[in-house]
Amino acid sequence: MEKMKADIVEVFKLPLEEKKAFAQLPNSLEGYGQAFVVSDDQQLDWADMLYLVTRPLQSRNIDLWPAQPPTFRDSLSCYSMELKGVAGTLLEVMAKNLGVAPEEFSTIFQDQPQGVRINYYPPCPRADEVLGLSPHTDGSGLTLLLQVTDVEGLHIRKGGNWFPVKPLPGALIANIGDIIEILSNGVYKSIEHRAIINAKEERLSIATFHGISEDSVIGPLAEIVKGYKPKYVSMSYREFMKTYFSTKLEGRRLMESLKL
C-alpha cells in the first residue's frame, strides 16, 4: 500500500506532455483524462483521473500504464492482486449475511473484473465553488478506496446530510456499489459520496472497483426475493454499465430509476 501511494504521487508529478502518452483514446474511459463527460457545456469536476483495467490480466492495456516511475507497473499489479483477495473475503461474508450460498456469489463475481481510478485533486483558492467528484454511487459491486494523502475530502451522505470520512493510516474504505444493492434487493445499499476540494493542499486517492462477469444478469437474487417483491428491474451487465457511463453523475438518480 505504501509503495502504491508513493508511485501515485510520482505519476501526477509528471509533466503534462508525458501524461499525454497514456491519455484516453476517443470513446474510451481507460487512460488519463476525465469521466462522465456527456456534454460540451457541463461543468467538469476539479480533478485529474487515470483509469486502468487491472483484471482479468488479458484485459490489461499496458501501453496506458505509466512507465514512470519505473516501479509503478509492478506496484499496481501487486496491489490489484492483494485487493482481489480482500474483496473476495468481504463478498463471502456478505453472502453469508444475506443467507445466500457463497458459491452463488462467487459465480456472479467470477474472476472479479477489476479496474482502478486514480484521482488527483489539486488545491483551488475558490474551493467552495467546485467539486472534485460530483455526488454519485459506484456502478461496481464493491469498491475499495485507499486515501493516498491524509487530506480530508471524501464525504458520504446519510439522512440528507454530508459527513466527512477521515483518512486512517493503513486502512481501506469499503463502498457498497449499485450492483450489490440490486442483487441484495436493497438489503445492502450503495453509498452516495462526493469529493470536495481543499483550498491549499492537494489530495490523491485510488479507488479499486470489483465488478461481475460480463455475461451476468443484474437483478435481485432469487434466494433473497423468495416470498417478497423484487424492488429493482433486471438487466444485462452490459446494458447496466452502458446506462451508468452515459449518465451524468447525479447522486442516486440512476438507482432510483431502476426501482420497480
Q: From first to last of the 260 residues of the chain, give the pLDDT tens digit.
A: 999 999 999 999 999 999 999 998 887 889 998 765 555 555 678 889 999 999 999 999 999 999 999 999 999 999 999 999 999 999 999 999 999 988 877 788 877 789 999 999 999 888 888 888 888 999 899 999 999 999 999 999 999 999 999 988 889 999 999 999 999 999 999 999 999 999 999 999 999 999 988 888 899 998 899 878 899 999 998 888 888 877 666 768 778 888 88
Q: What is the DSSP pairing of strand 133-136 with strand 114-121?
A: unpaired
User: What pLDDT, on the 0 to 100 scale, is given for residue 127?
Assistant: 83
**What pairs with residue 32 in β-bridges?**
23, 50
DSSP per-residue codes, 31-54: EEE-S----TTSPPPS-EEEEEEE
What is the reported pLDDT for 87?
94
In this structure, what are the phi and psi dihedrals at residue 154, rounded to the nearest 5 degrees?
-80, 130
The CATH number of the domain holding residue 207 is: 2.60.120.330
Decide: 210 and 116 in contact? Cβ < 8 Å: no
The CA angle 64-112-86, to the nearest 5 degrees, is 100
CB-based contact 112:87 (threshold 8 Å): yes
Q: How far apart are CA 150 and CA 13, in angstroms?
A: 18
Res 95: pLDDT: 93
pLDDT at 42: 54
Structural domain span for residue 100? 1-258
- Pull the grid cell for residue 224: 433473497
Alpha carbons 217 and 223: distance in angstroms, whole number: 15
pLDDT for 215 equals: 84
In DSSP terms, 49 is beta-bridged to: 33, 119
Task: Give Cα separations from 25 to 31, 32, 33, 68, 115 (angstroms).
Answer: 7, 9, 9, 20, 17
pLDDT given for residue 76 in this prediction: 98
How does strand 114-121 pair with strand 31-33?
A: unpaired
Which residue shows C-alpha cell 487512460?
A: 31
User: What pLDDT, on the 0 to 100 scale, is given for residue 141?
Assistant: 92
The number of folded domains in the chain is 1
Residue 253 sits at φ, ψ, to 5 deg, of -60, -40
